[in-house]
Each structure stands twice: as C-alpha cells, then as structure tokens.
C-alpha cells in the first residue's frame, strides 16, 4: 500500500465517493484553535450583513449523459469588499484557497505503517480567520455521506483576484475578483445566468463525447480481445461516469480489456460476485482529534482472480487512470458462460455499471 502513496498524492480521487460511509467519521472533528492552520471542526457560519452574498454552484450532473461537470459555475465571480460567496457543492468537491502556497496533498502516508490516509486539511474545514484577505489556507472540508445540501460561505475583506480549486479534482479551478467598495458588480441573476450558460456548454460537449463513444461498435481483435472504454478522452470540464459499451456479448475464452482514457478521473472495474458492497475508505478512530481516513486496499489496489475468470470470485482492477501505479487498463479472460455485472466502485451511485454476457464458444 505504501507504494500507492506517492502516486495518489498528486492526483484526483473520484467524484462519487461522497456516497460512501467513510466521511461519517468526520462528525468527530478536531477542536483546534483558530489561526493554527490545522483542520477545525465544522461550525455554523454567520451570514454577512449589509453586503451582497453571491451563490456559486460547485459541479453539476446531467443524468441523460451521466456527465459530471467538474467546474465552478461560473468560473469567475466579482464581489465588492465585504461581499461573500456562498458555494452550493453538488457532488464530491471542496472549495480550497491555497493563497499562493502549494496546496496540501490529498493522500498522505500514515507514519510507521504501510497505510495511506486522506489529508485532514482537505477532509475537514479550515478557516483560520472570520474573513479572507488573500492570505492563509482556507478550506470548506468535504461533504458527509448522504448529505443532500453541502454549502459553505466565505466573506472577502480585501480587493484582489483570488484563485481557488477543488482538491479532489485539481483541474477544477476558478477565481473570485474582489472589487473596491462602491464598484458595480454583477447581480445574482447575472451570475446564475452565466453559470447556467457555462453548464450547458459543458453538457453539450459531453453529449458529443457520448455520441462519439457510442458510435464505436465493439469488435474483437484477432486474438479474441474486446475493448471497453471508460469515460471520455482528453476532457478537462467533465467526466462521463459510464462504460462504452455498457453491455457486451463475448464467447468463452475471449478477453475483455477495459481502458480509462480520462485525463483526471480514476475508475475501477469491480466484479463483486455476490460480495457485499465495499467502502473506498476505512475510518479509524483516534484517542483525540479526527479519525484517520484510511484507504481500503481492496479497492485502491488490484484484486486479481484466478485466470481464466469463472465469475465466482471477487475481482477488482484497483484505481485506473493517469498517474496511478496500476496504469490505465485491466484485463480478464472469461471461462464460463453467463452474464456478469460489474461496477466502478467510485461512481456506482451515478449509474456507472456494465454487463459482460459470455456465450458458449461457437
């Protein structure tokens, strides 16, 4: 597991992890003095008085295409000094202001062990001051499981242009421009309309990507190998949480090769074969402070079944994607007729599943 840490530290984990149970442990957050720069317990934020509060959407999902928009909508927002941004977070995202420093790594080793953990500076809220002046690290924290409305508000006290990002999806970056007092800025209606235009643009791009992926009729190579694609290639604004094709019919002795062409989104190929649903992360309570959020090696790393595969045992690719130590592809050769369902553990709640039907050899 320790070999995973260096690779996982610099790349995004998956959007739909929010539905899993590991974040339930966040309810026992650390109590740390403000200004310490450490993760703090969630607190009720006061709503700014007498200044505009502009709502920004963080991410969106289109059920028709199973496309997850990975952008802040809109990407650039202007408010006056004393104004605030209220983020509505849709999906597994956070809002982090690095303030010119190197953002915290997402995955850290657990000292003295071979385990990896989610960085508490990302998992938990960090707000060292009541308002933001362009200095220090600020972070919304991550949503808890089954949380229908995860929101965060931050007030800005100094003019400037401030970059922020989602630590889970580093390609998801945006700006808050804080204008001097008295400067005219867009209204909420203007901001909402711009966010909707950007959303529709990204969804239209996703629709084109889906059509392109579906147009590729699967055929077997001369050695009996079939290719199933995950997601869409070279997409920086969205991820397609689906397999292409979703249903594939092959023959006994054939091999299926799954390939993830995405630039930023990892996926898994997981055949449970009757095993219970697994969690990506395992919370481990500590004597004080927040729990350790440990990676589940049964999900992060490959679980390779006997070959050829008869569909009777658990099989898992591990995290597949750019920069991961297990590469972009996973293969199984099938030995028994039947229909076998599989999922991407990370995006199962967004509908990412598929079926392999194995017919007798003709």
Cα–Cα distance, 306 to 195 (Å, whole number) = 49
Q: Could you list the pLDDT tens digit for every one of the 362 residues in the chain?
A: 333 333 333 333 333 233 233 333 333 233 333 333 444 444 445 555 557 999 999 999 999 999 999 999 999 999 999 999 999 999 989 999 999 999 999 888 888 888 888 899 999 899 999 999 999 999 999 987 666 689 999 999 999 999 999 998 888 999 999 999 999 999 999 999 999 999 999 999 999 999 999 998 888 999 999 999 999 887 889 999 999 999 999 999 999 999 999 988 899 999 999 999 998 888 888 898 888 888 888 998 899 999 999 999 999 999 998 878 889 999 999 999 999 999 999 999 999 999 999 999 98
Return the domain boundaries, the chain. 2-206, 217-359
Length reported for the chain? 362
* Four-residue CA torsion sign, 183, 188, 190, 194: positive
pLDDT of res. 50: 55
Question: Would you state the pLDDT for residue 116?
Answer: 83
Rounded Cα gap, residues 124 and 102, in angstroms: 18
The pLDDT, as a whole number, for residue 317 is 97
Residue 207 has a pLDDT of 96
Residues 6 or more apart whose CB falls under 8 angstroms from that of 212 comprise 232
d(CA 234, CA 248): 24
pLDDT of residue 284: 85
Q: Which long-range contacts (CB under 8 A, 24 or more apart) does 298-302 make?
A: 299/268, 299/270, 299/345, 300/1, 300/4, 300/8, 300/116, 301/1, 301/4, 301/326, 302/326, 302/330
Q: What is the pLDDT of residue 147?
A: 66
H or E stretch at 201: helix 188-215
Nearest alpha carbon to residue 68 among 225, 214, 292, 242 = 242
d(CA 243, CA 231): 7
Decide if domain 2-206 falls under CATH 1.10.150.120.
no
3-class secondary structure, 160: strand
Element spanning 204, H or E: helix 188-215
CATH topology for the 217-359 domain:
Immunoglobulin-like (2.60.40)
- Residue 1 and residue 8: Cα distance in Å, rounded? 11
User: What 8-state DSSP symbol labels residue 345?
Assistant: G
| pLDDT at residue 178 in the model | 98
pTM: 0.82
Name the token pair of 300.
């992060």
Alpha carbon 176 to chain centroid distance? 22
Contact predicate 155/83, CB 8 Å = yes
Compute the distance between CA of residue 185 and CA of residue 234 in angstroms, rounded to an integer.
35
């Amino acid at each position: 597991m320790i070999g995973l840490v260096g690779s996982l530290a610099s790349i995004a984990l998956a959007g739909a992890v929010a539905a899993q149970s590991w974040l339930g442990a966040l309810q026992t957050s650390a109590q740390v003095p403000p200004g310490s720069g450490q993760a703090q317990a969630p607190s009720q934020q006061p709503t700014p008085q007498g200044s505009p509060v502009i709502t920004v959407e963080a991410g969106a999902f289109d059920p028709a295409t199973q496309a997850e928009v990975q952008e802040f909508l809109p990407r650039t927002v202007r408010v006056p000094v004393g104004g605030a941004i209220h983020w509505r977070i849709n999906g597994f995202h956070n809002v982090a202001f690095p303030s010119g420093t190197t953002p915290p790594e997402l995955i850290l080793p657990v000292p003295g062990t071979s385990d990896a953990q989610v960085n508490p500076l990302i998992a938990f809220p960090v707000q060292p001051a009541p308002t933001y002046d362009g200095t220090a690290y600020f972070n919304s924290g991550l949503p808890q499981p089954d949380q229908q409305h995860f929101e965060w508000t931050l007030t800005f006290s100094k003019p400037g242009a401030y970059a922020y990002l989602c630590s889970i999806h580093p390609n998801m970056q945006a700006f808050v421009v804080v204008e001097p007092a008295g400067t005219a800025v867009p209204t909420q209606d203007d901001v909402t309309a711009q966010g909707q235009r950007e959303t529709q643009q990204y969804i239209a791009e996703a629709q084109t990507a889906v059509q392109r992926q579906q147009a590729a009729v699967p055929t077997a190579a001369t050695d009996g190998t079939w290719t199933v694609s995950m997601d869409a290639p070279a997409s920086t604004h969205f991820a397609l949480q689906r397999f292409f094709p979703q249903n594939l019919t092959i023959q006994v002795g054939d091999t299926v090769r799954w390939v993830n062409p995405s630039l930023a989104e990892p996926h898994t190929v997981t055949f449970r074969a009757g095993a219970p649903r697994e969690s990506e992360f395992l919370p481990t309570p500590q004597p004080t402070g927040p729990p350790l959020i440990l990676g589940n090696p049964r999900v992060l790393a490959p679980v390779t079944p006997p070959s050829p595969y008869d569909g009777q045992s658990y099989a898992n690719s591990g995290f597949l994607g750019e920069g991961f130590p297990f590469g972009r592809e996973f293969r199984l050769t099938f030995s028994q007729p039947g229909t076998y369902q599989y999922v991407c553990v990370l995006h199962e709640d967004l509908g990412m599943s598929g079926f392999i039907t194995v017919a007798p050899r003709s």
